[in-house]
Structure 1
Amino acid sequence: MSDPGGLLVGRYRLAERVGRGGMGTVWRAEDVLLGRDVAVKKLIVPPHLDDDEVRILHERMRREARSAARITHPNVIVVHDVVDDEGLPCLVMEYVPSITLGDAIKERGPLGPGEAARIGCAVAAALRAAHDAGVLHRDVKPANVLLGHDGRVILTDFGIALAAGTPSLTTTGKWVGSMDYVAPERLTSKAGDPGPASDLWALGATLYQAVEGRPPFRRATPFATAHAIAFDELEPPRGAGELSRVIEGLLAKEPGARMDAPQVERLLAQAAGEQTAPTGPPPLAVDAASRTASNTHTVPKTPMAAEPGRGRRVALRSLAAVAVAAAVAGGPLLINGYGGSDEPKDPASGGSTAGPHSSPAPSPSPVPAGYRLRKEDMGLSVPVPDGWRRTTTNNGEVAYVDPSGLVGLRLTAERFAGSDALRHWREVEEAQTRRDNPRYERVRMSATKFRGSPAGYWEFTFKGRTRDFRAVELAFAGSDGTQYVIYLSAPTAQWTTYRPVFDNAVNGIRFQE
C-alpha cells in the first residue's frame, strides 16, 4: 500500500512521501491510535534481485529496527514499531520535521565552523552511544543526519549497521555504504572487520563536506575515490577554522591514530560553545534556581531551575565512592582523562594522544576568557562564567546559576563510606533517580580518570516540567581524601552551548594548599 490515505495494519495512515533512499521510501503518516505523526519507511525491492538478495534486504530493515532500538539517546532516531505490508517490512519511527545535512549543504552551501561543530558534536554523541551499545552504524554521511526544524540533530538510517554478535549481511564482492565516507581500513585487508574508528572516519568526512561543500577524497570514479581514500594525503579544509584539528584527527589513515568519540564530542562542544554562546546575558528569569537551591528537602540534583524531579541526594553522595570502586573493579575508561592540557586525551592514561608514553598532565588549564576563578571553602577553586550567581544550600553544596535560571553548575565536597558503592549507585539509579525524574535516561555511567586518579562519570537526560534537560557530573578525590562532585545541567536544546562550561570548570580546577 503506497498511496496517500492508505492505512497500514489498520493503524498508520500515509499522508505524504518525505524522502527516498537506497533501501526505502519514507512517508509522513498518522498513528490513528495515538493521534500523532510518525515516519514510515517502506522497503523498496528492485525487480531484478534474486531471492537471496531480497532476503538480505528484508533482514537489513529488521536489523535497522533492532540496532536503533538498542540505543537510547536524544540524537538517535527512535523506532516505534516494525510491521508487514504486502509481505514487505515497514519501520515506524518518530517523525522529525527536518532537512538532511546533505540537502542543507546543497541548498545553502557550506556551513560555518560553529554550526558544523554543533551538528558534529551531536553526531559524535550519537555514535558514542551506539558504540557503547555494541552497534556500528557503517553509513554515517550527510544524507543520514537530520537537522530538525526545532534544532535537534539526529543520526538515522541504521540499515547496514552491525551489532555485536550478529553476522554481517555483506556477501563476497558486494559493497555496502557510500564510498565517499568509507574508512581506509574497510578498503584494505581489514574490510571485513570494521570498528568504531570507521564510523569516526565517516564523521570526519561528513564534517569536511559540511564546511567545504564536498567530500574530502571524491574523484571522478568510485575506484579513483577509493584509491584516494586509501593512499592520498588529505587536502586541508579551507573553511574549517578551528575545526581543522578535529577533522584532520578523524581522517587519519590508521584507525589507532584517530580521535575517539568522547574526545571529538568535547572538542566540538567547545567549538560550538565559542561560536554560539550569547554575546550578552539574557533577561533575568524568575528566581526559581535559588529557591530550589535553598530548599534542602526538594533540591533536585538535576537542573538548576525548579522544573524537574525531587532529588538524587543519595545517588550524588555515593558517586565519588562509586568512582573509586568502579575503577578498582576494572570498569571501562570511556571518557577523557581530564588533565588540564587542551590536547586530546587518552582515556586510559589521562595524557595526550601524542604517543604511547604520554603521562597525565596534573596542571590545571588557564582560566578561559569570560570566566572568573571562584575560590570555595571546600578546598578548591573553579572557573565559572562571568555573570553567574552563586548560591548555597543548607547541606553545604555550592551552586552557580546562569542569568536565565535554567543552567547551573554545582559543587559538593564530602567524605564517603560504603563497601560496595557501585552496586549502591546502580540501585539508587533505578529506585530513586528514575522515580524522581520523569523520563530519566542514562547516557553514560562509567569509571574514568581525573588527572591520573580514579574518577566517576555520569551523564543522563530527563524531562522537566516544560522542557527536556541533560546533565553531566564528575566525581573525584582530592589528595587529602575529600570526595568532590562537580555537576552541570542545562536544557537539552542548549546542551552544545553550555557543555563547555562543565569542561572548562573541570579542566581548570585548582586544589588549595
Structure 2
Amino acid sequence: MSDLGRLVAGRYRLAERVGRGGMGTVWRAEDELLGRHVAVKKLHVPPHLDDDEIRTLHERTRREARSAARITHAHVIVVHDVVDDEGLPCIVMEYIPSVTLGDVLAERGSLAPAEAARHGLAMAAALRAAHDAGVLHRDVKPANVLLGHDGRTVLTDFGIAVESGTPSLTRTGELIGSVRYLAPERLRSAEPSPACDLWSLGVTLYEAVEGRHPFERGTAMETAYAIATEPHAPPRAAGELAPLIEGLLVKDPEHRTPAHEAERLLRRAAATGPGTGTGTAVIDPAGPASVPAPAAPARRDGRGTGRRAALWCGSAAVVAGCVTGGVLLWPGDGGEASGARPATGASRPAVPPVPSGYHLARQEGGLALPVRDGWTRKNLPGGDVAYIDPTGLVGLRVNVAEFAGSDPVEHWRRTEESQTRRDNPGYERVRMAATTFRGAPAGYWEFTFDGKARKFRAVEMAFSDDDGTQYVVYLSAPNERWKQYRPVFDAAVKGIRLDG
C-alpha cells in the first residue's frame, strides 16, 4: 500500500516521495497545521532485524534529529520535529527543493574548480558548525549534499552522526559510514574525529573536479585497502583546489589540513575562475575561522569589551547595556570586507561604495561605516554610539576603544557568556569563534535571547587595527525579522573606513 496521501502524526500529509536511502525514505509533505511544505523522513526497518537491532535503528533516528537540531547554521538542514508513525520515529525537516551533488556529478561528470569550491566552502562551514557543537557527521559524501534551487548548499543526513558525551551505538569493530568516503584511520578502527569528516570532504572535492573517486577499485574491499595504504592519483583538473585536496587526503590525521586552513583555501578557490551559472550562495552567519589567532581583547578599564544586555528589548527606549565580541567573515567574497586599514605592509583594499539607502556615518577615532537612512543616532554611556531604526526595536552599535588584552574569545567564554546568560533570559549561543577580519585578528559572537515581548538575535564583530585600536560593531533585532536586518550589519562591516 502506497504512503502517498497518508497523514502522519495527525498533521503531515505525504505528498511526494523525493528521496530514498539506506535508512529511510524522504517525502515532501504538507504541514496542515502551519500550511507549509516540510520534508518527512520515514525509517526503514528490514524484516530480518531482531529487537535489539530495531531499537538501535530507532535510537539512531532520534539521534539524527538531535544532532542536526544542535547545529544552527544556514548550510545544515533544519529539523522541526520528531514524531511517531505506526510505531516508527519520523524526522520532520525543512523542505528544500533541490538536487544532490551526487545527482549533479552523475549527470555532468565533474564541476569547474570554482563551482566545486563554493559548494565545498558551504560544506566546510557546516562541518565547522557541527564540530563546534560537538557533532561529527561521519557520512560526508555527494549524496548528502543538497544543492537548493534557491542557491543554498546544505549538508543533510546526520543519521550516523555521533555527539560528544553520548554512548556509541556501534559494536566493536563495526564500521559506520560509506566505505568509499571513510578516512584511513577509521578503517584501522581509530576513534572518529573532526579530521575524519575533513577527509570525506577531500574525497568529495576530488570526485567533484575529477569526475571519479580517488581510490576507486573493483570491489569495496579493494577500495578500502587502497584508502588505507595506497596513494591516490594527483588531481589534474582541480586548479586552485589542488593544494587543498592534497592536504585533506593526507592519511595521517595529525598532518591533515585543518578546518580553518581548508576554509581559507576554499574561499580563495571560490573567488577564482569564471562564473558557473549555478548561483550557489555561501551563507555563513558566523563566518569561517580563517586562522586560530587571538581576537580583539577586553578594555583596560576593566569593563571588558561588552556589557552583555540587550540594546533594544522590545521597546523604543535604548537600554544602556550592550553586547561586544564576535567576528564576522563573508565567505562569498573572500571573508574580508574591503575598506579597513590593512595590516602593516599590506596594500589598502578598495573601499566598496555606500549602498543605496545608506549613508556614511562617522565616529570618533577615525571610523566611518554605512548606516541605514532614517535611523536615529544616540550616544550611549561609555562612548558607544547607537543607530536606532524607526520602530525602536532594531539597532546598530559602534564602539572604538584602545587595544588592551590578548584573546577575547577566551575571555567571553570564561566570564562574559555567564554574565550574558544571567542578564538576558533565554540566552542561547549561536556561534562564538576566533577568526580574522581583513587579515587582522578578530572574534565573532552571535546569540539569541528573550526580550519582554519577543525573541531577539544579536551579532557582533570586534577587530583591532595595526596600531592597536579596537573596533566593535554590533546589531540586535527581533529574531523573526533577522533575515531582513542582518544585511544592515553586513553592509556596515563591509563598508568600514578607517581614518575616514
Counting aligned pairs with the same residue, the percent is 58
For 1:470 and 1:109, the matched residues in 2 are separated by 42
Quote the residue 1:43 is aligned against: 43
**1:395-450 Cα deviation digits (max 9, x unpaired):** 5532269xxxxxxxx99642379999734577569978x99xxxx98553135689
Residue 431 of structure 2, aligned match among 432, 437, 444: 444
Give the TM-score normalised by structure 2: 0.68
Quote the residue 1:274 is aligned against: 272
Quote the residue 1:225 is aligned against: 223
Quote the residue 2:289 is aligned against: none
Quote the residue 2:209 is aligned against: 211
For 1:224 and 1:470, the matched residues in 2 are separated by 51
Are 2:12 and 2:31, in contact at CA under 8 Å, matched by a contact in 1? yes
Quote the residue 2:360 is aligned against: 391
Are 1:475 and 1:486, in contact at CA under 8 Å, matched by a contact in 2? no
**1:363-417 Cα deviation digits (max 9, x unpaired):** xxxxx9x9987769x999873336534933245532269xxxxxxxx99642379
Opposite residue 458 of structure 1, the aligned amino acid is W
Instruction: State the secondary structure of the residue aligned to 2:464.
Output: strand
**1:186-216 Cα deviation digits (max 9, x unpaired):** 01141xx110000110011111111111221
1:53 deviation in Å?
1.7
Pairing 1:340-419 to 2, within 5 Å after superposition: 383-385=348-350, 387-389=352-354, 391-395=360-364, 397-399=367-369, 413-415=400-402
1:473 deviation in Å?
3.1
Quote the residue 1:456 is aligned against: 443
1:56 deviation in Å?
1.4
For 1:372 and 1:66, the matched residues in 2 are separated by 39
Pairing 1:63-82 to 2, within 5 Å after superposition: 63-82=63-82
Structure 1, unaligned stretches of length 5 or more?
279-308, 324-334, 337-367, 402-409, 463-468
For 2:341 and 2:264, the matched residues in 1 are separated by 25
1:251 deviation in Å?
0.9
Are 2:130 and 2:137, in contact at CA under 8 Å, matched by a contact in 1? yes
1:457 deviation in Å?
3.2
Please state if 1:483 is matched with 2:489.
Answer: no
CA gap of 1:118–1:310, structure 2 versus 1, over 3 A, is: farther
1:104 deviation in Å?
0.8
Are 1:373 and 1:381, in contact at CA under 8 Å, matched by a contact in 2? no
Structure 2, unaligned stretches of length 5 or more?
277-315, 372-396, 450-456, 476-481
Are 2:463 and 2:472, in contact at CA under 8 Å, matched by a contact in 1? yes
For 1:258 and 1:22, the matched residues in 2 are separated by 30
Give the TM-score normalised by structure 1: 0.67
Are 1:447 and 1:455, in contact at CA under 8 Å, matched by a contact in 2? yes
Instruction: State the secondary structure of the residue aligned to 1:274.
Output: coil
Aligned residues: 406
Quote the residue 1:107 is aligned against: 107
Instruction: State the secondary structure of the residue aligned to 1:91.
Output: strand
Instruction: State the secondary structure of the residue aligned to 1:236.
Output: coil
CA gap of 1:177–1:424, structure 2 versus 1, over 3 A, is: closer
Deviates most, 265-274 or 197-206:
265-274
Pairing 1:3-14 to 2, within 5 Å after superposition: 3-14=3-14
Instruction: State the secondary structure of the residue aligned to 2:269.
Output: helix
**1:280-305 Cα deviation digits (max 9, x unpaired):** xxxxxxxxxxxxxxxxxxxxxxxxxx
CA gap of 1:136–1:387, structure 2 versus 1, over 3 A, is: closer
Quote the residue 1:261 is aligned against: 259
Residue 234 of structure 2, aligned match among 233, 236, 240: 236
For 1:314 and 1:398, the matched residues in 2 are separated by 23
CA gap of 1:449–1:77, structure 2 versus 1, over 3 A, is: closer
1:275 deviation in Å?
3.9
Quote the residue 1:34 is aligned against: 34
Opposite residue 18 of structure 2, the aligned amino acid is V
1:245 deviation in Å?
1.0
Pairing 1:134-283 to 2, within 5 Å after superposition: 134-190=134-190, 193-275=191-273
Instruction: State the secondary structure of the residue aligned to 1:385.
Output: coil
